């Protein structure tokens, strides 16, 4: 699965390219020697996107999957940026709380975290930021009880088809969104961010049900 991950996601490169372009703009005023934590780093796409633009930045990639990190390491080595990177198997809670960063990224990660644990995840991300640092997160987020949901679900099925979904998996897509990925509404997500300490989450990206926010840690 790890080896095929990038090939499967390449079908959606116009979406991911836009997402990467936008969060690079959000982060471009960080210090030239900024430290970035990539949570759920996968195969390193976000690190590669940022490292090409910001040659002085250092990165920590954390992911629970050893095979994913193996692919990530290979890609970072091939790009010649592995000397600016540290790879950690685990999740955000495995990064020492004393180790702080100018930005924490969680790109298409949060919807894999149970609703009961989501608040703790956002709090842990907040705790690992330096004052003024940015948290950037994109996730599948939609109000599954809204009258617009059936139309959005149809379009989301088209996205899944391009990523290789089978007819059987498309039939169970509503159940997957509710009970496997625990998708929550944007308003609920923003409230969880506020409860975690972020005063003003800003929505900067949406592509069907994929939505992205950024917020800064208070400086005082």
**Measured distance CA(51)–CA(78) in Å, rounded:** 13
Domains of the chain, start order? 2-142+182-216 (3.40.50.150)
How far apart CA 182 and CA 172 sit, in angstroms, is: 14
Residue by residue, what is the 3-state secondary structure of 171-211?
A: HCHHHHHHHHCCCECHHHHHHHHHHHCCCCCEEEEEECCEE
CA–CA gap between residue 52 and residue 16 (Å, rounded):
16
The pTM assigned to this predicted structure is 0.94
pLDDT tens-digit readout, 43-99: 999 999 999 999 999 999 999 999 999 999 999 999 999 999 999 999 999 999 889
pLDDT in tens, 132-172: 999 999 999 999 999 999 999 999 999 999 888 999 999 99
- H/E stretch holding 118: helix 115-127
DSSP assignment letter at 12 = G
Range of lowest pLDDT (6-15, 133-142, 144-153, 206-215):
6-15
CA distance 68 to 87: 11
Sign of CA dihedral 145, 150, 152, 153: positive
């Amino acid at each position: 699965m790890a080896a095929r991950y990038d090939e499967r996601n390449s079908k959606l490169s116009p979406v991911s390219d836009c997402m990467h372009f936008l969060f690079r703009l959000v982060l471009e005023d960080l210090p030239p020697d900024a430290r970035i934590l990539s949570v759920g780093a996968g195969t390193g796409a976000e690190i590669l996107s940022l490292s090409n633009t910001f040659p002085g930045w250092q990165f920590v990639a954390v992911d629970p999957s050893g095979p994913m990190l193996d692919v990530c390491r290979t890609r970072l080595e091939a790009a010649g940026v592995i000397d600016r990177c540290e790879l950690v198997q685990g999740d955000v809670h495995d990064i020492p709380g004393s180790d702080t960063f100018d930005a924490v990224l969680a790109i298409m990660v949060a919807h894999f975290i149970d609703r009961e644990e989501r608040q703790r995840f956002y709090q842990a991300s907040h705790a690992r930021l330096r004052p003024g640092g940015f948290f950037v997160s994109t996730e599948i987020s939609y109000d599954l009880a809204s009258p617009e949901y059936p139309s959005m679900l149809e379009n989301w099925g088209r996205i899944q088809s391009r990523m290789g979904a089978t007819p059987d998996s498309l039939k169970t897509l509503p159940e997957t969104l509710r009970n496997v990925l625990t998708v929550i509404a944007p308003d609920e997500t923003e409230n969880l961010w506020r409860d975690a300490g972020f005063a003003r989450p800003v929505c900067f990206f949406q592509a069907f049900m994929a939505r992205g926010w950024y917020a800064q840690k208070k400086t005082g």
